[in-house]
Amino acid sequence: MNKIGMLDSQVIRAALLALVGLAGLIASFFGVDEALFSEKAARLVDALLLVLTTGSVIWAAYARATKPTPPITDGAVAKTAELQKSQEGGFARTGALSAVLLMALSACALVGFPQPKTFNDRLAAGYATVTAVSEATQTWIAAKRSEAQRLPVASQAAFLVQVRKDAENIIAQAQRAKDGLDIARDLQGIDLKSAEARLASTIVLLETLQAYLEDR
Amino acid sequence: MNLSIAASLLLSLLREAAALQQAIAAAQAEGRDSLSNDEVSGIADRAQKSLDESRAAIAELPQG
């Protein structure tokens, strides 16, 4: 996508206008308008500047939401092209899926689905997360194998060796989390406080693992 | 559809969360306030089985 001039962007124009309003308000703060106008006129000027600033911000938000947003710098052109490329072929966007997940979880809460609260329920949630991480890793491996087939033959093996290393690391961490949950389960009947501590630390490990996967 | 690992993880988490919620709801419908130890064991076994399947998938990849 070609870039447009900086001042052709409605958002930039609105931002500049808001800046003018803000500059006026700052000047007013230091008493410039009171030195120039009567007290009543100064108040009117302040009110006008506030309206100008607020209106500009609303205009910027409206323009960003409803108007085309062509890039205005070379860096933005490159990033826009990269974004368009990543969206080709029906790639599911993480942000959109996160929103769907959030909506689904909110919907669960709204319809009164129970949330895991007891020790056993939270333990089960931990195991379910291990399963999810493992299944996602299998999907990822399959996707990477397909991706490797599109690479030059000479570089396929090296690519898949790296995938193997990553996958081994992920599954080793997931196994560690599963073992931690097993220990928490065994401790439950002996020392609930230690079991709770073990469960909490394992959940932190799982969250770290999820964050690592989300970065892949 | 080509899914990224993050998208795949989110879908798996959603599926697992839904199954867990159903199990908890079923336990509550039976008058229990929590999943039983046997039910937790079943979920733990499924996690281990999935980890073993992942190892099998990894074993098919070339070693460095």
Q: In three state form, how does the secondary structure of A51-95 look?
A: HHHHHHHHHHHHHHHHCCCCCCCHHHHHHHHHHHHHHCCCCCCHH
Task: Name the residue among A97, A178, A216 with its Cβ closest to that of B51.
Answer: A178
Q: In this structure, is the dihedral angle defined by the CA atoms of residues A4, A7, A13 and A16, taken in order, positive or negative?
A: positive
CB of B25 within 8 Å of any CB in chain A?
Answer: yes
From first to last of its 64 residues, chain B has per-residue pLDDT tens of 445 677 777 778 888 888 888 888 898 899 998 899 999 999 999 999 999 999 999 999 998 7
Query: pLDDT below 70 — which residues of chain A?
Result: 1, 29-37, 39, 84-116, 216
Nearest residue in chain B measured CA to CA from A156: B62
List all residues 6 or more positions away from A191 whose beta carbon is below 8 Å from its beta carbon.
none
Flag whether residue A183 sits within 8 Å of chain B, measured between CB atoms: no
